[in-house]
Structure 1
Amino acid sequence: MSSIRIRIEGVIHVRHDKEDGQLNINPKSVTLDEILSWITPDNIHHEVSTGGQQGREVW
């Protein structure tokens, strides 16, 4: 048996088939509410200044 190391970013669903030993990795659908629930006071960034107006923006 060989091994492999991979890096996966994002939300995934992993399923292991015990009969044939296959490992299935698929993207998982998530809702906006679920994504927003991951934001906590510990991982939210502070306000970022992007400078003054560049066009006809209204602040």
Structure 2
Amino acid sequence: MSHAQRKEDRLYIPPRDKSNIARPKAAIGDNISHSDQVKNAFGFGFARYEKAMEELSKV
């Protein structure tokens, strides 16, 4: 026999730390092409997730 569980009434979301400000990393400029931005984005992603990409490449 299954027992139904009562759902929570509210979802608790902790308050945001307002001292953390997101800084932009890439911007569209007059002298920057789309391919340059793609290379730049890949560089950021690879620098951050290099170890994860290496592990995934082994699969």
Q: Give the TM-score normalised by the residue count of structure 1.
A: 0.22
Decide which structure has greater helix share: 2
Q: Give the TM-score normalised by the residue count of structure 2.
A: 0.22
Decide which structure has greater strand share: 1
